[in-house]
């Protein structure tokens, strides 16, 4: 994502699945458009993307610290 986009750019993920690309976009200050055929995956992605950028960064920092120690 960082190789081909800049902050504020849009990223289209036509096979969104559980929304991992959307989370990366949120962390990297990109706009995200996700599409998936399965309603179940759309709901999962929507729930995962409800978290704010700050909360996401905080969670990742905690996970990294726990793995290091």
pLDDT tens-digit readout, 31-58: 999 999 999 999 999 999 998 888 888 8
The Cα–Cα gap between 41 and 47 comes to: 10
More confident residue, 18 or 51: 18
Q: Which two tokens stand for residue 63?
A: 């996970």
What is the DSSP pairing of strand 10-13 with strand 31-34? Answer: parallel
Average pLDDT over residues 15-34: 95
Write down the pLDDT at residue 32: 96
First to last CA, the chain: 29
| pTM (two decimals) | 0.80
Write down the pLDDT at residue 16: 95
Residue closest to 10 by CA, chosen among 19, 18, 28, 20: 28
């Amino acid at each position: 994502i960082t190789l081909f986009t800049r902050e504020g750019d849009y990223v289209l993920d036509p096979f969104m699945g559980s929304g991992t690309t959307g989370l990366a976009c949120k962390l990297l200050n990109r706009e995200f458009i996700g599409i998936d055929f399965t309603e179940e995956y759309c709901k999962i992605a929507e729930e995962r993307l409800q978290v704010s950028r700050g909360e996401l960064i905080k969670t990742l920092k905690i996970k990294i610290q726990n793995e290091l120690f």
